[in-house]
């Protein structure tokens, strides 16, 4: 194993997938010669040529549309949207076409397409480069939505996404790209889509999170010696509701942490599921710690993103209820 950042882990995974399968094609803005804004595809065009690592025009609708057509006719494209904020011109292609092809053709066609894109705050990108739009896609049947929180999971989840046979929105928390290192095997391995990770075990409270907030939550729990279950969802659609309910039945108290806006964020759906399936086990109201319902600020990022103080305030409230 080698210590890698998430950028290095993703780059090495794409390299191996391309080496093992000649049908793997990469498409995206500036991903070839430049290696992408965050250098995830650096060096791959030199190695595999311009015919397999395509620098596209600045046209997300075209990128996703080309990827969909390639996937339906036997190629295995992995497309990159430069920032998740730029994905919306391709929204119709994704939710009205790609997500529904298998259903509308009676399982005659599928779209084995992975759409990679960095999302979230933490790099002072301002309101057009920092959004967390996962709920838009979780609302769409036919898609899978995946978000790794560390380099090890990034590789295993990307391989599983590639092999799933269905369209996957692969959300990469840009704040984690280079800030965390973990040991990553050189060979390919898989992490099951729809399977959460229990990162810490405790009996006082269940803290549910994903993406860039995982490291914030774990650091907070460790520093403050909170006796908590910490669940990293890893995949948002499908979601591991069994892992959530099992933990809630043990602790009776729940805090949900994500950086996306509060209204109709993942915390709302998780709260509803817990209320439907484990209401009798709750000892306190469920509390959400989220981003506010405003455009993502440029100067006041630290006030927008959930932090140790807000997380501990929520934990104290449910423990002392």
* CB 242 within 8 Å of CB 213: no
Catalytic site residue from 129, 174, 175, 310: 129
What does DSSP say about strands 114-119 and 168-173: parallel, antiparallel, or unpaired?
parallel
129 is catalytic: yes
Tokens of 284: 């306190």
Is 106 exposed, middle or buried, given 0-12, 13-18 or 19+ CB atoms closer than 10 A? exposed
Q: CB 210: neighbour CB atoms within 10 A? A: 29
Name the one residue in this structure whose structure tokens are 């319902």.
Answer: 293
Q: How far is residue 121 from each of residues 130, 133, 209, 234, measured CA to CA in Å?
A: 4, 12, 15, 18
Please state the length of the chain: 321
Rg (CA), the chain: 19
Which residues are identified as catalytic? 129
């Amino acid at each position: 194993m080698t210590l890698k950042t998430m950028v290095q882990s993703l780059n090495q995974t794409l390299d191996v997938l391309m080496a093992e399968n000649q049908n793997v094609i990469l498409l995206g803005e500036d991903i070839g010669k430049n290696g992408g804004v965050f250098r995830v595809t650096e060096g791959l065009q030199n190695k595999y040529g311009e015919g397999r690592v395509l620098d596209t025009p600045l046209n997300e609708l075209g990128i996703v549309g080309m990827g969909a057509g390639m996937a339906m006719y036997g190629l295995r494209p992995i497309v990159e949207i430069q920032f998740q904020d730029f994905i919306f011109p391709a929204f119709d292609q994704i939710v009205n076409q790609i997500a529904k092809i298998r259903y509308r053709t009676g399982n005659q066609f599928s779209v084995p397409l992975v759409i990679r894109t960095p999302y979230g705050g933490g790099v002072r990108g301002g309101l057009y480069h920092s959004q967390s739009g996962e709920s838009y896609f979780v609302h769409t049947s036919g898609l899978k939505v995946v978000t790794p929180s560390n380099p090890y999971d990034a590789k295993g989840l990307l391989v599983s996404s590639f092999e799933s046979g269905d369209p996957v929105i692969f959300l990469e928390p840009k704040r984690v790209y280079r800030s965390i290192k973990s040991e990553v095997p050189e060979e390919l391995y898989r992490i099951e889509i729809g399977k959460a990770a229990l990162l810490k075990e405790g009996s006082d409270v269940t803290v549910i999170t994903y993406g860039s907030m995982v490291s914030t939550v774990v650091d907070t729990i460790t520093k403050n010696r909170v006796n908590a279950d910490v669940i990293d969802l890893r995949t948002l659609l499908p979601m591991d509701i069994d892992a959530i309910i099992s933990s809630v039945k043990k602790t009776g108290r729940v805090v949900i942490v994500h950086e996306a806006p509060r209204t109709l964020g993942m915390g709302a759906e998780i709260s509803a599921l817990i209320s439907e399936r484990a209401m009798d086990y709750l000892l306190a109201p469920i509390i959400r710690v989220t981003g506010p319902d405003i455009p993502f600020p440029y100067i006041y990022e630290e006030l927008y993103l959930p932090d140790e103080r807000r997380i501990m305030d929520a934990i104290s409230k449910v423990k002392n209820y």
